[in-house]
Structure 1
């Protein structure tokens, strides 16, 4: 698969009438800073490209291609973060034989900045996940799994803050309820906390206490469920919270050609994105800040 086709490109932007009393012309003349967010989800231990004769994904994917893509984008814009929304483990013999060692080492070579935890990341048990953490040279963030009384206590952060060209970026993680998806012997005493309540608390802390300019949620809840399901999904999370600029999703293997623009509880735009599975796509979202750090969905330029 040619690299230019590896990421589907499209754009989503809303009209901006005024920003701080200034028209579009004045806004455009201000000094702009660009923050690029690259992201994956549900890679499921897929290290190599699919076979050339695969019926759905012939010769597609592969970590080597992803590495080249990420390297080129970082050269284009050093203010880039690389994030993952969980389910790194399970899906090929690489995981069966090496238990996640290769996945974490390769992600470290690609210089991932942070990841959250998916349900399949417990497939070797919480002890198996813990055993592989030394191979991960990046942080795991998860705010609604209480790991007290488990080996992961203090090893997973609720959020992490990055600073790129004086733009403060807060990233926090939200996980799906494990009961019914994962044998409780595998996650042991991990406690699941309400994702909406925790997400609202995290976004408040990052916005008000930490004074972040950009807030990103790494979610493994799933993009959208029908009304008969009582599960919280990313679109629901967006609608019931505020202060989150971007929700990067996973779990449902949803291929979105571009981020969905939806409204939060305050009526402001939120971007929700997910890029399928198996490392077939990499999401790209570009945020632009003017000299006053004005950024809302009104002024965003998104390329996926």
Structure 2
């Protein structure tokens, strides 16, 4: 089924746990299928909530609270997917002691569908990453790191597809350049491939060959770099043709609502990121009928 893409630009902001409802007004009677995308990024091993006296995030976050919110949303809409845009590791003593095992096991308990690999996933080297990957019973999609000459070969996928309520969703992942950011000894023979070229190839494959109705990129490139030639999500969005949503990470950018960007074929797509440390949960709702797709997004404090 060929679909036009349409974004209803009335994006709401949610301030409290559980305030995830969206109002689509006149569109609500027309919609036949509803896909909810939930996402996190740069959680950095924050398992517990911040103390009530914390200067920036008083009482916010915590994996148990996130789990309750995710489960509530899944009850409201069983056609829900949960993704992470990288930097699962590093930031609290939980990582120092368990090396990432606890984070992977807890994400598995939350039934994450997929995540991509951030630069901090290399903090204990490829050996350390390999030791933890089996604890993550969800897909790792990473398209522009070539692991073929490393021990990680075969543990990641360039993309994955999911079907919810008859809607086919394709997901691919992009990582930031490691050279100059991560010690060479930590990533060894991992090759970095141009993310713009890889995105172009994979989004075409997902749309034209896999026949996906919705194409999502999990990116750890960073939201935007001013006066800088490094690849970022906002530039990536302008170069895409088939991607509908870019879920970002790395720059710890707090967006109250997704950015709307015009892509290479003059179609609006969404770019979103929810800061860091698990204090927010991103939510994008896609509504499908016979000839269009409507999207609304919020950032929910956890």
TM-score, length of structure 1 as denominator length = 0.90
Separation of aligned partners in 2, 1:279 and 1:232: 25
Change over 3 Å in CA distance of 1:8–1:78 after alignment to 2 = closer
Q: Secondary structure at the match of 1:61?
A: coil
Write the distance in 1 (CA, Å) between the matches of 2:47 and 2:264: 39
The answer for the alignment partner of 1:88 in structure 2 is 88
Dislocated runs of 4+, deviation >4 Å = 7-13, 27-31
CA distance in 2, matches of 1:260, 1:31: 23
Gaps of 5+ in 1: 14-23
Residues 235 and 128 of structure 1: is their aligned pair in 2 closer, same or farther, counting only changes over 3 Å?
Answer: same
| Residue in structure 1 matched with residue 259 of structure 2 by the alignment | 260
Aligned pair 1:103/2:103, yes or no?
yes
Instruction: Flag structure 2 segments of 5+ consecutive residues without an equivalent.
Output: 1-13
* Equivalent of 1:5 in 8, 11, 16: 16
Are the counterparts in 2 of residues 44 and 87 from structure 1 also a CA contact under 8 Å?
yes
What value does the CA root-mean-square deviation take over the aligned residues? 2.0
Q: Report 1:20-59 matches (<5 A).
A: 30-59=30-59
TM (norm. structure 2) is: 0.91
Report matched runs for 1:147-296 at 5 Å. 147-227=147-227, 229-290=228-289, 292=290, 294-295=292-293
CA shift in 2, pair 1:241/1:71, >3 Å: same
CA distance in 2, matches of 1:12, 1:274: 21
Change (3 A) 1:92 1:7: farther
2:142 aligns with 142
Contact (CA 8 Å) 2:256, 2:298: kept in 1 or not?
no
Which residue pairs with 1:74 in the alignment?
74
Structure 2 CA distance for aligned equivalents of residues 286 and 31 of structure 1: 12
In structure 1, the partner of 2:295 is: 300
